[in-house]
């Protein structure tokens, strides 16, 4: 075997080995949701695989991958390192990947060509794994679990009887109320400024009202009440699979069936 042929075969084996060990999984929903597509070799046009402009999140198991918005690796492209990308929206590639290829391990790229650092691993427990067989299990009950009561507050105008000098009493009461309200609405240094401003404004209002109302003046009183929350935090779901009852907590209201794997674990 002559040298040029050996060199060509060696280069071909290097490329094949890089692609054989590289693997990436594309998900149609953010947060690794939906039925995924597992890729282990370069694809010039994802339309041939029925996944063109569909990827919204990615898990790179091995190797580095270049994803591009146009077929034949054209348009905007980014290189993905091993790890989990919960959303492609931040890099401008959400639902826009049309071609994908493995990057040889020896090739060097400028840091600007890379996507932001990924998470070390996908954290969504119910994500569907590549080539995983799924089943439909009937849901027997679904209960919405709401959060703790929400506090709602408002300000009421209240008449207060004072003694002594009307203007002085009104000014003091107005300053106190204005200071309290100003302290509640401010934050950090802004809170101190709001407190002082509220005190000055409250004093002016209280003094004027005191002079005009004799022994009575009006003040703002804040009142609050606890209102039951109507926003579900999660859905407590019970379902049956292969004669066994299972339970799961889902972030969205389920339908009549839930998708599970062969162990009965939900897959979304």
Question: Domain boundaries in the chain?
Answer: 3-113, 135-147+230-260, 153-227
Q: Would the pLDDT of 173 be above 90?
A: no
User: What integer is the mean pLDDT of 96-108?
Assistant: 91
pLDDT at 214: 55
Confidence of residue 22 (pLDDT cuts 50, 70, 90): low
Q: What kind of fold does domain 3-113 have according to CATH?
A: Gamma-B Crystallin; domain 1 (2.60.20)
Six token digits for residue 21: 């060990």
pLDDT at 41: 93
Of 61, 64, 68, 121, the residue nearest 91 (C-alpha): 68
Average pLDDT of the chain, as a whole number: 78
pLDDT at 153: 92
Task: Render pLDDT for 120-172 as a digit per residue (tens, 0 to 9).
Answer: 888 888 898 888 899 999 999 999 998 888 888 999 888 877 665 544 444 44
Q: Would the pLDDT of 264 be above 90?
A: yes
For 95: left if phi > 0, alpha if psi spans -120 to 50, otherwise beta; the answer is left
pLDDT at 131: 83
- Three-class DSSP labels, 224-246: EEEECCCCEEEEEEEEEECCEEE
pLDDT at 163: 62
Q: Which one has a higher pLDDT value, 232 or 9?
A: 232
Q: Would the pLDDT of 11 be above 50?
A: no
Confidence (pTM): 0.58
pLDDT at 160: 79
pLDDT at 165: 52
Measured CA to CA, the distance from residue 195 to residue 183 in angstroms comes to 5
CA quadruple 66, 70, 75, 76: dihedral, nearest 10: -50
Task: Render pLDDT for 192-237 as a digit per residue (tens, 0 to 9).
Answer: 444 444 444 444 444 444 445 457 778 888 989 988 888 888 999 9
Please provide residue 53's backbone torsions phi and psi, each rounded to the nearest 5 degrees.
Answer: 55, 40
Q: Would the pLDDT of 39 be above 90?
A: yes
């Amino acid at each position: 075997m002559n040298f040029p042929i050996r060199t060509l075969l060696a280069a071909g084996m290097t490329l094949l080995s890089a692609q054989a060990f590289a693997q990436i999984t594309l998900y149609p929903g953010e947060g690794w949701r939906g039925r995924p597509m597992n890729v282990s070799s370069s694809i010039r046009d994802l339309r041939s695989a029925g996944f063109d402009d569909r990827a919204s999140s990615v898990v790179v198991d091995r190797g580095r991958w270049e994803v591009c918005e146009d077929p034949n690796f054209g348009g905007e492209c980014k290189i993905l390192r091993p790890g989990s990308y919960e959303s492609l929206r931040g890099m401008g590639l959400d639902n826009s990947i049309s071609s994908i290829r493995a990057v040889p391990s020896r090739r060097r790229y400028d840091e600007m060509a890379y996507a932001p650092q990924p998470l070390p691993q996908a954290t969504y427990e119910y994500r569907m794994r590549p080539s995983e067989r799924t089943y439909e299990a009937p849901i027997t009950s679904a209960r919405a679990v709401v959060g703790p009561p929400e506090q709602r507050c408002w300000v009421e105008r209240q008449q207060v009887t004072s003694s002594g000098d009307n203007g002085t009493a009104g000014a003091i009461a107005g300053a106190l109320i204005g200071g309290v309200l100003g302290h509640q609405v401010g934050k950090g240094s802004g809170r101190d400024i709001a407190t002082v401003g509220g005190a000055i404004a409250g004093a002016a209002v209280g003094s004027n009202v005191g002079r005009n109302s004799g022994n009575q003046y009006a003040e703002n009183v804040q009142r609050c009440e606890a209102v039951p929350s109507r926003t579900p935090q999660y859905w407590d779901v019970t379902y049956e699979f292969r004669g066994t009852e299972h339970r799961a907590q889902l972030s969205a209201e389920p339908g009549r069936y839930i998708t599970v794997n062969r162990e009965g674990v939900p897959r979304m």
